[in-house]
Amino acid sequence: MHIPDSFIPITQGAVYWVIALVFIVLALRWVKNEMSEEKVPLVAVLAAGVFALQAFNLPVTMGTSGHLVGGALVAIVLGSPFAAIFVLSLVLIVQGVLFGDGGITVMGTNIINMGVIGGFVGYYGYHGLLSVTRNIYASAAGAAWLACLIPALCAAIELAIAGTFPLVPGMISMGIYHALIGLIEAGITAVVLGLIVNSRPDILDHPTGAPS
Amino acid sequence: MISNRTFLTIGLVVALIIGISAVFFASGDPDGLDSTALVMQGQKDLTQPANPDAEIDESALPGEFEYSAPFPDYTIEGATKMTDTVLLVVGTILALLLVFALGKGLKKFSRTGSS
């Protein structure tokens, strides 16, 4: 759901950039004050994984494809939505500046959708579902699905404000496609979480119920 | 439990394998956003594939700014699969280095800073 520059007028893009910058500053403060230094290399590897997985579009029927976004995954593994904002912002900068994947004037919009909204929905969705299901994989999958669908619906609203899509048809179309793409998000998030739990349970900042 | 170094090595290798596979196996179908744009412009039915030559009509879009990325769509004119592979590997490592450098920098700042 990387929005290109042509989809949103510059003035609106600037407003989203200002909002995104507030969250970027908060994310940088989170890294500086809350994240332990031993985790820096692990966050960097997660960023590499997110970048690679985002390049891997998988078909989801109806002539459409989609890929992992990764906001939920990063937020769940590192235990903060701000981790997702930190990682996704930097990944989006590389994608936008070098590869034209997502625009420049709209980069703030993409950071808000995938980093901020994806991160917060992923993190709080996970902990909400965890308190009900008591299963980390089901919770991660459910939260990741929501962290794909809800940012896509937000993008549809932003694009309706921009006059690019009509509101209701845009939300229906974005919603249907990303409900399917969200299954990719759910599956990969649960699998990667499983790999991390089995190889390095200490990276997770919360008990998983697994013996460590 | 495996060591930090092993985790990093395995993680980076897995990321690179995924990225390189993407060059060869990723779907070229439009993503959810582009599909929606094609549907809105009457070039695609919601549940049907678009014509292979369907393109988003840029003139109908509100944006005024155009930035030319050096490697649009993870490729460059005249690129082979090898070139595309190199580009994806460079992008993956760049994402890793950026996060690493900024992370380390911020932690250093927090040690020497006011706190």
Residue of chain A nearest B87, judged by CA positions:
A99
Q: What's residue A109's pLDDT?
A: 98
Whether B98 and B42 map to the same domain: the answer is: no
Residue A209 within a domain = no
Whether B13 and B38 map to the same domain: the answer is: no
Q: For residue range B24-82, what is the model confidence (pLDDT) as tens digits?
A: 999 999 999 999 999 999 999 999 999 988 999 999 999 888 899 999 999 999 999 99
Q: Is the pLDDT of residue A72 over 80?
A: yes
Q: Is the pLDDT of residue A70 over 60?
A: yes
Q: Closest approach of chain A CAs to the CA of B82, in angstroms?
A: 16
Indicate yes or no: CB of B50 within 8 angstroms of CB of A63.
Answer: yes
Res. B109 pLDDT band, cuts 50 70 90 = confident
What is the CATH classification number for the domain harbouring A54? Answer: 1.10.1760.20
Q: What's residue A210's pLDDT?
A: 42
Q: Is the pLDDT of residue B2 over 90?
A: no
Res. A207 pLDDT band, cuts 50 70 90 = low
> Among B5, B14, B21, B31, which would you mutate to test the A interface (most chain A Cβ atoms within 10 Å of its Cβ)?
B31
- For residue B44, the enclosing domain spans 31-66
Question: In the structure encoding, which two tokens stand for residue A73, read together?
Answer: 């995954």
Mean pLDDT of chain A: 95
Interatomic CA distance for residues B6 and B11, integer angstroms: 8
Q: Is the pLDDT of residue A206 over 90?
A: no
Which has more pLDDT, A206 or A100? Answer: A100
Whether B102 and B46 map to the same domain: the answer is: no
Res. B115 pLDDT band, cuts 50 70 90 = very low
Residue A118 within a domain = yes
Number of domains in chain A: 1
Give me the residue from A8, A37, A93 closest to B63, CB to CB: A8
Q: Is the pLDDT of residue B102 over 90?
A: yes
Buried b (16+ CB within 10 A) or exposed e, A24-58: beebbebbbeebeeebbbbbbbbbbbbbbbbbbbb
Q: What is the per-residue DSSP string for chain A?
A: ----GGGS-HHHHHHHHHHHHHHHHHHHHHHHHTS-GGGHHHHHHHHHHHHHHHT--EE-STT-EE----HHHHHHHHT-HHHHHHHHHHHHHHHHHHH-SS-STTHHHHIIIIIIIHHHHHHHHHHHHHHHH--HHHHHHHHHHHHHHHHHHHHHHHHHHTTSS-HHHHHHHHHHHHHHHHHHHHHHHHHHHHHHHHH-GGGSSS--SS--
Whether B114 and B61 map to the same domain: the answer is: no
Q: What's residue A211's pLDDT?
A: 38
Whether B96 and B60 map to the same domain: the answer is: no
Number of domains in chain B: 2
Task: Kindly state the average pLDDT of the residues A38-67.
Answer: 96
List the 116-175 stretch of A: residues with Cβ below 8 A of B.
Answer: 152, 155-156, 162-166, 169-170, 172-174
Residue A212 within a domain = no
- For residue A114, the enclosing domain spans 5-203
Give me the residue from B62, B102, B113 closest to A164, CB to CB: B62
Residue A128 within a domain = yes
Residue of chain B nearest A13, judged by CA positions:
B63
Question: In the structure encoding, which two tokens stand for residue B23, read together?
Answer: 């060059």
Question: In the structure encoding, which two tokens stand for residue A123, read together?
Answer: 């993190």
